[in-house]
Amino acid sequence: MEYVKFGNTGLDVSRICLGAMGFGDPEKWIHKWVLDEEKSRPVIKKAIDLGINFFDTANIYSMGESERILGKALKDYANRDDIVLATKVHQTMRPNRPNGGGLSRKVIMSEIDHSLERLETDYVDLYIIHRWDYDTPIEETMEALHDVVKSGKARYIGASAMYAWQFQKAQRVAERNGWTKFVSMQNHYNLIYREEEREMIPFCQDEKIAITPYSPLASGRLTRDWSQTTFRSETDTVQQSKYDTMMESDYGIVKRLGEVAKNRHTTKDKVALAWLLNQDQVVAPIIGAQKESHIESSVAALDIKLAPMEMHYLEELYIPHPVVGALSNPKSNY
C-alpha cells in the first residue's frame, strides 16, 4: 500500500479509500443491492489487511446502518489511531420532519453526535458536507463545522459534489472569519465523467485541496462488458440517472479502456483506477466493494503506471456531459 499526505495537511492516508455506501440494510434505503453486516465484515477486514487505512461513509447510507456496520468492524479489526475515518452530513434523516436534514447549526450539531454513536468512536477524522444547502447561510454552516472541529469531534472538514463557485465561497467565508477551512473535495470524477476538470479540479490544485473522487469506476460501467448486467445495474436507479443518457458517446471510451487493459494483460477496472491515480491532486479514489476480490483488484491498480500516450488515448474521445452530482435542484435527496 502507498500512503500520501492528505492535501495540505499532515495527515497520512492510503491511496485507496474504501467507501461504505454498499454496506447496510436493503430495507432501509433506496439501494437494494447493499451487503448486510455478515457479508460486509470480510470486505472491510480485507481492506485493513491490505493496508487501507482510509474509510468513508455517511449518515444517510442505509439511514445510519452503514455507519453502525463500519464502526463495529473497525473497532473489532483495527486500532482506532491507525484509521482515518470519514462520514458525511446533509441528507434528510427524518423525512417530512422539521430540521430533518440540511446544514443548519442545529442539524450539524445533532448529526455529528448521532454519527459518533453509531460509529462507536469519540471523533471522526474527516467530517464532510454531503451537498450544498440552499436554505442555510453558508456562514452558519461554516461556523458550526468550525465548532465541531474545536470540540474535538472532528479533526478536519471536507466537502462533496457542488459547484466550484460554492466551494470557493465557503472557503473564503471561513478564511475571513478565522474558521476551519475544508481540506478535501469528494467529487464525481472518472474516465467517463470529467466535468470537474473545468473548474473544480484546477481550484483544488491551486489551493492544495485533496481530491477523493467517488464513483471512480462509474458504478461498474468501467469494469465489464455493457451487455452484461448485475443485480446492482438492474436496480440502481441513481446509477442509471448518472450514466444512461451519455451511453452512446461513452461507449468508445470504454472500448478503448478494454484495449489498453488487453494490451497490458490486466483488467479494465485496474486501468480505470490507474488513470485516476495518475491525475494531479487525486489523493485516494473512493472505491465500492461487494467482494474481497474487488479490494484486491483495486489495490493492484497502484502498480500500473500509464504512459502519456495511453492517458491521451483514453481521454481523447471525451465530450462534454451534463453536470451530475452537484445539486441544481435543492430539494433532491441524493
- For residue 332, name the pLDDT band (cuts at 50, 70, 90): very low
**Rounded distance, CA 278 to CA 310, Å?**
11
Check residue 26 and give its pLDDT: 87
Provide the annotated active-site residues.
Answer: 61
* Least confident segment among 54-58, 216-220, 291-295: 216-220
CB 10 within 8 A of CB 18: no
Task: Supply the mean pLDDT for the chain.
Answer: 93
Instruction: Say which amino acid occupies 64.
Output: G
Check residue 334 and give its pLDDT: 40
- For residue 154, name the pLDDT band (cuts at 50, 70, 90): very high
* Spatial CB neighbours of 202, under 8 Å, sequence gap ≥ 6: none
User: At which residue does the C-alpha cell 444512461 appear?
Assistant: 244
Instruction: Say which amino acid occupies 219.
Output: S
Task: State pTM to two decimals.
Answer: 0.93
Alpha-carbon torsion angle 24, 25, 31, 32, nearest 10: 130
Instruction: Say which amino acid occupies 213.
Output: P
- For residue 239, name the pLDDT band (cuts at 50, 70, 90): low
Check residue 287 and give its pLDDT: 97
Q: What structural domains does the chain harbor?
A: 3-315 (3.20.20.100)
* Least confident segment among 140-149, 226-235, 325-334: 325-334
- For residue 333, name the pLDDT band (cuts at 50, 70, 90): very low
Q: Can you tell me whether residue 318 is helix, strand or coil? A: coil
CB 85 within 8 A of CB 74: yes
* Rounded alpha-carbon distances, angstroms, from residue 306 to 142, 202, 224, 255, 309: 39, 22, 20, 17, 8
